[in-house]
């Protein structure tokens, strides 16, 4: 059963005393009735829903989806009822503000595509760069450090001590701290005539030794180990105390004394300028 009206039932009422304004919906409806078609027939032929056909014939174009779809529906329905759609479209544009300018899709797409994208800092790349820098530094340090060690090892392995005649071993002795350097044997031999010069040498063992000048000032008081020696000098005299005189060799004013001190004997000696004597 058709829900549309028959052409006879949809005959428009015309008032000959009034001139109705041009209506798109009325023109489509009049053409449909003239063609002997119902709303149901037009909907089936155009695939436009019945509700939209009724709305357009009542000049309600909002139900059709807006301006763009309304123009398409007007054109489709006009062709279905054998009307020229151009005057209807022109009328629609006049009553609805004209045809809107088409929006070019390509420029919008291009603008969207080339819009710069804001990005945050690339922490991954920064970490990779830092790791590469650290590895490079460590490798460089290891390389240069290895060369230095190699050169040191080569020097250590390649160095050969100068060899000659077998030298007699020298006994290493710990010398007590002395404010004045000890004169050598040559210095003893060239001892000044206006002073007293006494050298005490622990040749045969160790001995306790004490030395004072003519004013009684203590010059030395300590233990001489074997191989150690001390030299004392004064303008008038030197007073000595030897704890083990037998272990001591004495050099006074540049001459070695041929003493006969006994091992373990304690001797108290005094020497002045001139030819030395045991005393």
| pLDDT for residue 129 | 86
- Angle, CA 243 vertex, CA 168 and CA 173 arms, to 5°: 25
**Do 70 and 92 touch, CB atoms closer than 8 A?**
yes
**Encoding tokens for residue 134?**
């650290």
- CATH superfamily to which 24-95 belongs: lambda repressor-like DNA-binding domains (1.10.260.40)
Tell me, what DSSP letter sits at residue 264?
A: T
Q: Is 135 exposed, middle or buried (0-12, 13-18, 19+ CB in 10 A)?
A: exposed
| pLDDT for residue 109 | 44
| pLDDT for residue 41 | 93
Q: Residue 61: how many CB atoms within 10 A of its CB? A: 22
**Do 45 and 32 touch, CB atoms closer than 8 A?**
no
Cα distance from N-terminal residue to C-terminal residue, the chain = 165
Distances (CA, A) of 83 to 13, 14, 117, 209: 21, 20, 53, 148
What stretches in the chain show pLDDT beneath 50?
1-3, 6-9, 11, 13-19, 103, 105-114, 148-165, 167-168, 178, 180-181, 183, 187, 278
- Residue-range domain boundaries for the chain: 24-95, 185-272
Q: In what order do the strands lie in the sheet with 196-202?
A: 229-234, 196-202, 248-252, 255-256
| pLDDT for residue 143 | 63
- DSSP secondary structure string for all residues of 189-236: HT--TTSEEEEEEE-SS-EEEEEE-TT--EEEEEEEPTT-EEEEEESS
CA pair distance 279, 275, nearest whole angstrom = 12
Task: Collect all residues with Cβ–Cβ distance below 8 Å to 23 and sequence separation of at least 6.
Answer: 59
């Amino acid at each position: 059963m058709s829900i549309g009206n028959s052409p006879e039932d949809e005959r428009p009422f015309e008032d000959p005393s009034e001139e109705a304004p041009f209506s798109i919906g009325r023109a489509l409806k009049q053409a449909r009735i003239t063609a002997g078609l119902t709303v149901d027939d037009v909907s089936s032929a155009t695939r436009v829903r019945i509700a939209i056909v009724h709305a357009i014939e009542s000049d309600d174009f909002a139900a059709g989806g807006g301006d763009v779809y309304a123009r398409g529906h007007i054109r489709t329905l006009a062709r279905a009822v054998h009307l020229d759609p151009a005057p209807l479209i022109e009328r629609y544009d006049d009553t609805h503000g004209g045809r809107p300018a088409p929006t070019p899709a390509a420029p919008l797409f291009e603008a969207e595509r080339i819009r710069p994208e804001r990005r945050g800092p690339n922490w991954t790349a920064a970490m990779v760069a830092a790791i590469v820098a650290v590895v490079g530094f460590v490798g460089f340090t290891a390389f240069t450090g290895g060369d230095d060690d190699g050169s040191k090892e080569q020097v250590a392995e390649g160095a050969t001590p100068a060899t000659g005649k077998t030298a007699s071993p020298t006994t290493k002795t710990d010398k007590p701290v002395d404010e004045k350097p000890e004169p050598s044997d040559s210095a003893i031999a060239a001892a000044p005539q206006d002073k007293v010069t006494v050298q005490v040498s622990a040749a045969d063992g160790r001995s306790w030794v004490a030395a004072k000048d003519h004013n009684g000032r203590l010059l030395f008081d300590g233990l001489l180990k074997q191989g150690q020696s001390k030299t004392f000098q004064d303008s008038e005299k030197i007073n000595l105390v030897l704890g083990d005189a037998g272990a001591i060799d004495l050099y006074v004013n540049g001459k070695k004394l041929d003493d006969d001190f006994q091992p373990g004997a304690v001797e108290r000696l005094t020497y002045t300028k001139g030819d030395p004597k045991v005393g």
